[in-house]
Structure 1
Amino acid sequence: MLPLLQGTVFLLSSCFPAGGGSPLSEGLWLLKTEFALHLYRSAAAERNGTNFVISPAGVSLSLEILQFGARGNTGWQLAGALGYTVQDPRVREFLHTVYTTLHNSSQGIGMELACTLFTQTGTSLSPCFVEQVSWWANSSLEPADFSDPNRTATEVSEDTSGQSTGEGPGNPLWGQAGALSTRLSIMSTMTFQSTWQKKFSSMTSQPLPFTCAHGLVLQVPAMHQVAEVSYGQFQDAVGHEVDVLELLYLGRAASLFLVLPQDKDTPLDHVEPHLTARVIHLWTTRLKRARMDVFLPRFRIENQFDLKSILRSWGITDLFDPLKANLKGISGQDGFYVSEAAHKAKMELSEDGIRASAATAVLLLRRSRTPAFKADRPFIFLLREHSTGFVFSIGRVSNPLD
């Protein structure tokens, strides 16, 4: 199985003392894809050419939950960042249907988008807010004691992963959560677990030469398959040529979308600024089925982001200001604001434990009449829900050995 777990934590504090397919479908697909690419570019700017993965689905879910409680300018800023508002009944109904569908697992596929609100004992929440959240994307409300960070972190870990690991996606924040002003934590998680539609074999004795930035060549563990895939060659807005490949997971419920510059001398940061939702949409509609040799490096990426700095750079400023935040819909009174926002993501790409002899891999490497897709230089990846195109996670691989 290929596991992926991503989480987002929002710590809400109070400044009062403690104790107190249709046009709509296509439009939302474009807006959510644009949000994912915006998040990608912001994360890329902080990572300076290194590997990273981030979950637009997890981040947007937390912002949607906040929209239920946001009013005035705070609500407008959230809507501006997302490009839509769940206060719109049409949007709310459509997204609710999509999220409900994602929870259905079949044929060895497990996908779930969930949100847990941990509330400090004694915190009063608006009944309307509680009802909306409980109905939204497998969300739930759980009690927490923010004065005991270790206990809360363990509770979070158990709630989001089903087992006690002693580490939750928001664990580094719990030291700050011990402040008496913290009243509520919003944690969203996106989990995905599946196998490939066509399984890879391992190139155990023949690693893939991978050219990193600045010409450094590394020998990296790789996997290989010969399969019918969706493939295309395109140009971005300024003429950079890229290879695009889409690989399906079991049951065709999700796919991995890869963008690889054709020229090894073209850095990813030359391509990244020109990726837009409409460009991705155009490329996906023009992919052709082709039988290809596919070579991918195995990789594992785990990282954490300070979402507060990213969201503030987008213009979401009132949310983090104790004097300006308007989250009156949460409790029916003024006082709540977001003190911290963090996101932790992890993704592992492998051949799913399948092993094949090196001789087979060497033989396939020598196939001269089969076109090849070799991810032997930095590339961008998007994990997408296949039918809607919603982006679960997005990231890049600059060095598979990091």
Structure 2
Amino acid sequence: MLPLVFTVLVLYSCFLTSGSCDLYDELKELKTEFDINLYQRLAEPENRTNLIVAPASVSISLGLLQFGARGNTFMQLENALGYNIHDPKVQDFLHTGYEEVTNSSQGPVVQLACALFVQAGVHLSPDFIEHTALWANSSLQKINFSEPNSTAAQINEWVTGNTEGGEADCIHLDTVGSPLTQMAVVSTMYFKSTWQKKFSFTDTQSLPFTTAEGVTLKVPTMYHMAEVNYGQFHTASLERFSVAELPYLGETVSMFVVLPSDRRTSLTQIESHLSAKIITVWANSLKRMKMDIFLPSYGAIKKISNSYLQSRQTFSLFPKACQYRDKQESYHL
């Protein structure tokens, strides 16, 4: 039995398991690479704070937009996602993956939803409307962006209805107040689960936690003894670190927790090492081991807008005008 204190939560990753052919393996790798790239881009300015990102909610939105995009907008979306959403095999893979994650009867509760709010009077092609109705629990709603109060209220009501009564004030007036706006894409991901082996509240205690600045604080720390998948690895520049996989109920979804072996090794040095292939190596190399698990209680709230994504050069998807099929004019998104 090895004592191990996990001090940093790095990445939550949900793996799609549908299919075994080369195409599905390639698509799984593309999705994981997108997830990691998004996380790394957003983490760059946030390396002193907690950050929790749900890449699935972003990729669902971009996939929906790709159905109706054309020209340069379509190319940017395809480059960002790594696939063409019009490919029937791609659609089959994504639909199967979303259904497997969201329809689990005994595992975590995962709800993905996406809504396209369109200015009343804007014409959309029947083909695009059909795709919207079938795409990953998506919906199309008419709205009047010239009335920011009612617009924000309508969008917030939709968010609350798709997150089990979650945050009801996520959209603010300054977000929807532009008179040029004709479309708004909003997506949600709701996740709720218990651990496969629960942490007992009675075992939670205040223990030392060393921050990135080297300051030691006392924080509430959960504890239990369990058999988990565990391994030790190193980066190309030989920074060593440990990885433990903590499964949620049903073991269809799990959390990878990463801990640098040397306290002098910064988390960013490990994060820059991440890739889809590296995570596959982790998943295939971890061994069952019984150990003491200490995990700080954690939480994070971070709102990231499309302008923030653009400023971080995650991808250039939000010019003043986006091109969509079957229309001569472009739309402000």
TM-score strictly above 0.5: yes
User: How far does residue 194 in structure 1 lie from its aligned partner after superposition?
Assistant: 0.9
User: How far does residue 57 in structure 1 lie from its aligned partner after superposition?
Assistant: 0.7
**Counterpart of 1:119?**
118
* Change over 3 Å in CA distance of 1:247–1:123 after alignment to 2: same
User: How far does residue 298 in structure 1 lie from its aligned partner after superposition?
Assistant: 0.4
Amino acid across the alignment from 1:327: Y
2:224 matches 1:225:
yes
SS of equivalent to 1:84: coil
Aligned residues, how many?
Answer: 312
2:96 matches 1:101:
no
SS of equivalent to 2:52: strand
Amino acid across the alignment from 2:177: G
**Counterpart of 1:334?**
329
Amino acid across the alignment from 1:334: E
Amino acid across the alignment from 2:325: K
SS of equivalent to 1:156: helix
Moved more, 66-75 or 305-314: 305-314
**Counterpart of 2:191?**
192
Instruction: Spell out, residue by residue over 1:107-142, the C-alpha distance to the aligned partner (whole angstroms, 9 max, x if none).
Output: 263112110112222221111101011111010112
**Counterpart of 2:51?**
52
**Counterpart of 1:274?**
273
Q: Counting strand residues as a fraction of each chain, which structure ranks higher?
A: 1
**Counterpart of 1:359?**
none
**Counterpart of 2:210?**
211
User: What is the rounded CA distance, in whole Å, between the counterparts of 1:128 and 1:240 in structure 2?
Assistant: 51
**Counterpart of 1:157?**
156
Map 1:243-322; keep pairs closer than 5 Å: 243-311=242-310, 313-314=312-313, 316-317=315-316, 319-322=318-321
* Change over 3 Å in CA distance of 1:213–1:296 after alignment to 2: same
Kept in 2: contact 1:158–1:165 (CA 8 A): no
Kept in 1: contact 2:224–2:292 (CA 8 A): yes
* Change over 3 Å in CA distance of 1:222–1:37 after alignment to 2: same
* Change over 3 Å in CA distance of 1:211–1:188 after alignment to 2: same
Moved more, 107-116 or 260-269: 107-116
Kept in 2: contact 1:319–1:326 (CA 8 A): no
User: What is the rounded CA distance, in whole Å, between the counterparts of 1:165 and 1:264 in structure 2?
Assistant: 37
Gap regions ≥5 residues in structure 2: 1-19
User: How far does residue 30 in structure 1 lie from its aligned partner after superposition?
Assistant: 1.1
User: What is the rounded CA distance, in whole Å, between the counterparts of 1:264 and 1:113 in structure 2?
Assistant: 37
Please report the TM-score for the alignment, with normalisation by the length of structure 1. 0.73
User: How far does residue 206 in structure 1 lie from its aligned partner after superposition?
Assistant: 3.3
Instruction: Spell out, residue by residue over 1:337-364, the C-alpha distance to the aligned partner (whole angstroms, 9 max, x if none).
Output: 32xxxxxxxxxxxxxxxxxxxxxxxxxx
Amino acid across the alignment from 2:330: G
For CA contacts below 8 A with separation 6 or more, give which structure has more relative contact order.
Answer: 1
Root-mean-square deviation (Å): 2.1
User: How far does residue 302 in structure 1 lie from its aligned partner after superposition?
Assistant: 0.5
User: What is the rounded CA distance, in whole Å, between the counterparts of 1:69 and 1:115 in structure 2?
Assistant: 15
* Change over 3 Å in CA distance of 1:88–1:96 after alignment to 2: same
Kept in 2: contact 1:81–1:314 (CA 8 A): no
Gap regions ≥5 residues in structure 1: 1-20, 339-402
Kept in 2: contact 1:157–1:167 (CA 8 A): yes
Please report the TM-score for the alignment, with normalisation by the length of structure 2. 0.87
User: How far does residue 24 in structure 1 lie from its aligned partner after superposition?
Assistant: 1.8
